[in-house]
Amino acid sequence: MAGNRAVAYVRPGEVEVRDISFPDLVLRDGPGVNPLNVGRKCNHGVILKVVTTNICGSDQHMVRGRTTAPSGLVLGHEITGEVIEVGSDVEFIQKGDLVSVPFNIACGRCRSCKEQQTHICENVNPDRPGSAYGYVDMGGWVGGQSEYVMVPYADFQLLKFPDKDQAIEKILDLTMLSDIFPTGYHGAVSAGVKPGATVYVAGAGPVGLAAAHSAQLLGASVVIVGDLISERLAQAKSFGCETVNLREHPNLGEQIEQILGVPEVDCAIDCVGFEAHGHGKSHGEAPATVLNSIMDVTRAGGRLGIPGLYVTGDPGAVDEDAKHGTLKIRLGLGWAKAHTLITGQTPVMKYHRDLMSAILSGRAQIAKAVNATLISLDEAPGGYAEFDSGVSKKFVIDPHGLVRN
């Protein structure tokens, strides 16, 4: 039997590459696996040889110790791979297929899945609706920052690339279909971006950059990206966005007015989440900052897309309320301005096929927008550390050297 190596969370600030079991079509016990999911048979699943798997900002929340993730949890929910084994109940996916894996795990059979709400599948996480690979409190499905991984419900979930050779040529773009591109796109769609719209994107990390590129694809007239890190803002500017540096100029409305002539936008997207910081040079962590600021600068009747992650448990929070996900949000302001807020995980399957077509046609240039940077599996711990320092890179792990060759 072949071996398997994977990136595992060790303790706050530390990950390492470990030898783990080769996957089979059963969810075995292990770090973070929900006891009610142990022994779950997955004849509807497949085994993938991982071609690419990405480091995500959501992973960083766990690695920083900002969740209850257990030591030994195998990380990684952004997975692209080649099918090497199919379960007895799989009819349409075949060995040799090159596929994108939605980070949401979804059965395809419950009410939510049938209504295209695959981000809140009711059958894959015993604790609550919604699940993901390699993530705390998401059912315990083993992560994909590894050489091989098991993916359940293959016929329903997997997006097969129509031409393997073409897909490999565009793999740095296509690898973003598992999460970051649909997540950014979902943020833009949720915010009501349409031709001619003016858009503010909070956060110039990879998700923020994906949201900004998505807003451009949807026809926005001006996309403004705000962040505290100059390097990330430079990346946003590289593909045509306006930018605001909130460390140097903390008044967001004034900066928007300098760009648009008015201190407000049609719609806004929160791509920061619960580890938000206040504005200004002496800023500290203030988890409601982004939510309050986007309500402030979005016009009355506007929409707010919130793909940024918020959690119900944050042991490293700045106060007792925030440790339970209770934030000081100016809901009265949002109510007075009749804002629409859309939150939650992204239903990847709602968007990934269309976004694949946009990539294959050359319309979407997502790898360029997020500065996709290829690394080996052994380089993953260094990639985590570099990403945590604020560099403007989206790290793509190549476990078998298939992309580099």
Residues 315, 188 within the same domain:
yes
- Rounded distance between C-alpha atoms, residue 94 and residue 288, angstroms: 46
Note the pLDDT tens digit of each residue in 157-202: 999 999 999 999 999 999 999 999 999 999 999 999 999 999 999 9
CATH code, domain with 141: 3.90.180.10
Q: How far apart are CA 236 and CA 201, in angstroms?
A: 10
Same domain? For 153 and 22 the reply is yes
Model pTM score: 0.96
Report whether 268 contacts 333 (CB < 8 A): no
Structural domain including 129 reads 5-179+347-397
State whether 283 and 173 are in the same domain.
no
In a domain? residue 199: yes
Whether 194 and 328 share a structural domain: yes
* Residue 333 domain flag: yes
- pLDDT score, position 405: 54
Identify any residues that bridge with 265 across adjacent strands, giving them in sequence order.
Answer: 298
Q: Specify if 404 maps to a domain.
A: no
Residue type, 42: C
Taking only the tens place, the pLDDT of each residue in 95-129 is 999 999 999 999 999 999 999 999 999 999 999 99
Note whether 75 and 175 are same-domain residues. yes
Identify the band that residue 312 occupies on the pLDDT scale cut at 50, 70 and 90.
confident
Evaluate whether residue 215 is within a structural domain: yes
Express each pLDDT in 261-308 by its tens digit.
999 999 999 999 999 999 998 788 999 999 999 999 999 999 999 999
Q: Are residues 78 and 187 in the same domain?
A: no
Residue 403 lies in a domain: no
Give 247's contacts (C-beta < 8 A, 6+ positions apart): 228, 229, 279, 280, 281, 283
Q: Is the pLDDT of residue 60 over 80?
A: yes
**Are 26 and 95 in the same domain?**
yes
Q: What is the mean pLDDT of residues 54-65?
A: 94
Same domain, 13 and 131: yes
Q: What is the pLDDT of residues 318-368, one digit of tens each?
A: 889 889 889 999 999 999 999 999 999 999 999 999 999 999 999 999 999
Domain presence at residue 238: yes
Residue 376 has pLDDT above 70, yes or no: yes
Residue 32 lies in a domain: yes
Dist CA 100 CA 255 (whole Å): 39
Q: Which residues, at least 6 apart from 238, have a Cβ–Cβ distance to it below 8 Å?
A: none
Number of domains comprising the chain: 2
pLDDT score of 10: 97
Asked if residue 326 and residue 251 are part of one domain, the reply reads: yes
Any domain includes 405:
no
CATH number where 235 lies: 3.40.50.720
Q: Are residues 188 and 106 in the same domain?
A: no
